[in-house]
Amino acid sequence: MAIVTPTAVGIVPQWQMLLPQMVAQPLQTALRNLNYLHRFHRPALLSAVVNADPLLTRTAEYHVPVMPSADGLRYTFEARFICSNATQTVNLSWDYCTTYAGGATAWTNLAANNVVTGGAGTLTTRTDADLTVPANAVALRCTLTAPGAGTRTDHHLLVYPTPSAATATAYASGFRPFDDGLFLSADGAPVHTEFLNRCKRSAAAIVQDRKQMAFSFVQEFRTAPRLIRSSSVAEGPYPIGRAFFPNQKGTTTLDVRVIAGVSAGATAGLVSLAQVGLAKTAFAASGSIESGTLNVQIQGSGLLAYADLQFWLKYVAGNATRPWAIVAFYTPGA
């Protein structure tokens, strides 16, 4: 009895697919691929090129809403930044929370490390591997301290699943691993419909459970982030970002999460995410995580199928609207 997890996806050769039999192969390859998927299906839960002031001499905090796996998986965290001076020490920490309350949030630490940078002006990539994010986490925080000398420019935050190999259990996502012992006993267990259905159900469970970040605009969590809206016309759009939805057609529904604030006054409807020329969903700049959906129509076709997305900010005279994180998640099949 063994739950074997291949380190590469098993491709069934064409000759095995011509009038295949209901025997161990090629079904075993497909079932083992489920174990592979559990460990190696790795779409980014968070991918944000942060919109922060360059050349910082202060600590920066980024708060990003997330929709982690129901299975409480391990994730790998990467942060990219550049220090102007060589061999600077920057403390880089990752935290999660299960209830978000802005600056009053109670965070749980995942990792905190002093990172020594390389040469002056060179890119530093810090990887913190295999940190478990519980299913009920609602946001992640990344904090980078100021270097001792010179400046720091933050570039990119990336988080993707890197679970351990599947074990014999029923996962909350609906995934069921495959144990060779079910198949390869000395007597030869019967092939029944459960094996076939498991291929679909477990594969679908994984692809739907691991949300894929399809849009990101993330700024420092502070009262004066790089972009605020406090002048000009009441509401305006910001740069268009094209999200690619490989091989998708028709429509899909994105899960949108927003963290934004306003200096004073009403909060309702100050932040929106839209598909250019089509649907638009408004969110409050409440300081909490605001949730909603955006139905998008997929344009183009094939691998380059896409939707052009754009966020809008509104301000009321005298008040400043501060967007800290506007993100959207794609669920294949949704």
Partner 1 sequence: MRLPTVRNWKSQSMSAALTEDATPPAAAALLLQAIAWAEDVALTPYVGCAHVFDGLTETAVETKHLAVVVAPGAVHMRAALGVSYAPFGVDPPSNPTDHAITSTASGAGADDVIKAAMAIVFDFESRQFWSLSQVVLSSDTVDDQPAATKRRQIEVQTLAAPYVEPMSVTQATSFAVAVSQQLADLEGL
Query: Which of the stretches 66-74, 109-117, 179-187, 225-233 binds partner 1 when contact is defined by CB under 8 A?
Result: 225-233
Q: Does 142 bind partner 1 (CB under 8 A)?
A: no
Q: Given phi > 0 = left and psi -120 to 50 = alpha, else beta, which region is 184?
A: alpha
Least Å from the CB of residue 285 to partner 1: 17
Tokens of 109: 């630490």
* Chosen residue from 86, 191, 278, 279 binding partner 1 by CB under 8 A: 191
Candidate residues 204, 279, 282, 316; the one interacting with partner 1 per rule CB under 8 A? 204
# chain residues binding partner 1, by CB under 8 A:
89
Contact between 175 and partner 1 by CB under 8 A: the answer reads: no
Residue 165 interacts with partner 1 (CB under 8 A)?
A: no
Neighbouring-strand partners of residue 140:
64, 96
Residue 155 makes contact with partner 1 by CB under 8 A: yes
Q: Residue 13 CB, nearest distance to partner 1 (Å)? A: 6
Interface residue with partner 1, options 66, 166, 213, 325 (CB under 8 A): 213
- Helix and strand totals (H; E) in the chain: 2, 17
Residue 149 lies near partner 1 (rule: CB under 8 A): no
Please report whether residue 54 would count as binding partner 1 according to CB under 8 A.
yes
State the amino acid at position 255 in one-letter form: D
CA–CA separation, 188 and 178 (whole Å): 16
**Binders of partner 1 in range 235-264 (CB under 8 A):** 236-247
The yes or no reply on residue 275 touching partner 1 (CB under 8 A) is: no
Tally of CB atoms within 10 A around 85: 15
Contact 275, 286 (CB under 8 A): no
Report which of 259, 260, 209, 248 is spatially closest to residue 43, judged by C-alpha positions. 209
Of the pair 104, 232, the CB lying nearest partner 1 is at 232
Tokens of 96: 């999660």
Query: Binding of partner 1 at residue 119 (CB under 8 A)?
Result: no
Q: Are 132 and 159 in contact (CB under 8 A)?
A: no
Contact with partner 1 (CB under 8 A): which of 4, 26, 131, 293? 26
Cis peptide before 26 (omega within 30 of 0): yes
Judged by CB under 8 A, the residue of 100, 183, 215, 315 near partner 1 is 215
